Amino acid sequence: MKMRNTAVVAALTVALGLGIASTQGASKVSIWTDFKGGELAWFTAAAKAFEATPAAKGAKLELTSVILGETRDKFIQAAPKGEGPDLIATIPHDQIGEFVTAGVLEPMTKYLDAKTKSDTQASAIDAFNYKGKLFGLPMWSEAVAVVYNKKLIKSIPSNWEAFIAAAQKLTNPEKQEFGFLAPIGIQYHMNGIYRAFGAYVFGKNKDGSLNPQDIGLATEGAVKAAQTINDLRFKYKLIPEGTENPDLEKDLFTKGKVAMWLTGPWDMSAVKDAKIDYGIGLLPKPTGATKPWSPFIGVRGLVMNAYSKNKDVAAAFAQYLISKESQISLNQEGGRLPISKSALAQLKGDPTVKGFGAASAAGIAMPNIAEMGSVWGPWGDALNLSIKTANPDFADLHKKAVAAILGAINKK
């Protein structure tokens, strides 16, 4: 069900920064969100609908848009001062460790009832578990996959050589036409290639827990992965400098200029709005890789401020948002992949659910330990330097990245 009517737009206008209009004397529950576009309109309408339920206890929800990349630092600083939101919608599960370590999250085990728990994928619940406690209610899962335009290519070639050849045939930069585009400077998107060559973020201890002292991003496999990513630009001439920008790629794909594009379900609302006849599949195993392509799985969920004075209403709204009905509605708006088993069963014929579901099944969950926050920056620096020129010293770049990661981890 699409919620893009005039009433929703009006509510959205009020919601941004100012909060949904409230009646005098009614309590306010503050919500931070990184939803945008049609999904933000959906979220605003969901908030209005919740306000009319008994669970809201007459409270009004005050919505504030906060950029995802700024949420962590702002929240950690604001929460202890009583200035943060009551609820955040949503955060990636890999940030849980840092939030818990900072002492700003409320455990939410008691807010996940038995019926909802049994209907929720166990892997999604596990993603928000940290040291035996549940610190968030999962709302959807996500992984990147190859979205393709059926008008330009009938299917994704099953092996790397054929994939590259098909992409090259469809590439003409002078006409802004591309056979394959991907955000090759973003670690999250490129993890599948790193893992295919045997690289990893954290090794494991004998008990199966993650070992933050064992960083596998400077291995021989990591070097080969970086070379493969570099080849996409400099050897095969598929992704010219500048075209790795995700927003530019979305613009080109929705204009029918790109045959295959590595992205996630967050972009499917734009693809659907552009009326592209699309399919979704997996990136082939790169030549020389030891394992199949395996992307990061992210789980997004709702977390509650440990200092909140409105925990009951905030938790009730979180429960409202993770219901089967809400997950189906959000999927239809933006293509998000539900973690409700019954919702997935109802949507089994949906190509977005099927395609990104296959990518999630092939992937691995992002680590949620606090040390993960020290990984992204140095890894990103190494990756971006790896695509800046043809054949740089990949080994040196990645060794320096690992040294920086360990240095940051061991300072804490």
Residue 352 identity: T
CA 142, CA 233: separation in Å to the nearest integer?
26
d(CA 322, CA 113): 11
Instruction: Report the amino acid identity of residue 1.
Output: M
Cα angle at 244 between 240 and 247, to 5 degrees? 130
d(CA 335, CA 330): 7
Average predicted confidence (pLDDT) for the chain: 92
Residues above pLDDT 70, as percent of the chain:
94
pLDDT at position 9? 34
Residues 408, 400: Cα–Cα separation, whole Å: 12
Domains of the chain: 6-142+298-365 (3.40.190.10), 145-294+375-411 (3.40.190.10)
Edge-to-edge strand list for the sheet holding 145-149 = 178-181, 258-263, 145-149, 278-281
Q: What is the pLDDT of residue 8?
A: 35
CA torsion sign for 52, 53, 56, 62 is: negative
Torsion of CA 129, 132, 135, 140, to 10 degrees: 20
Distance (Å, whole) CA 169 – CA 178: 9
Would you state the pLDDT for residue 16?
Answer: 37
Beta strands 129-130 and 133-134, pairing class: antiparallel
Strand partners, 340: 120
CB atoms under 10 Å from CB of 158, counted, come to 11
pLDDT for 334 equals 81
pLDDT in single tens digits along all 412 residues of the chain: 344 333 333 333 333 333 333 334 458 999 999 998 889 999 999 999 999 999 999 999 999 999 999 999 999 999 999 999 999 999 999 999 999 999 999 999 999 999 999 999 988 999 999 988 999 999 999 999 999 999 999 999 999 999 999 999 999 999 999 999 999 999 999 999 999 999 999 999 998 889 999 999 999 999 999 999 999 999 999 999 999 999 999 999 999 999 999 999 989 989 999 999 999 999 999 999 999 999 999 999 999 999 999 999 999 999 999 999 999 999 988 889 999 999 999 998 999 999 999 999 899 989 999 999 999 999 999 999 999 999 999 999 999 999 999 999 999 7
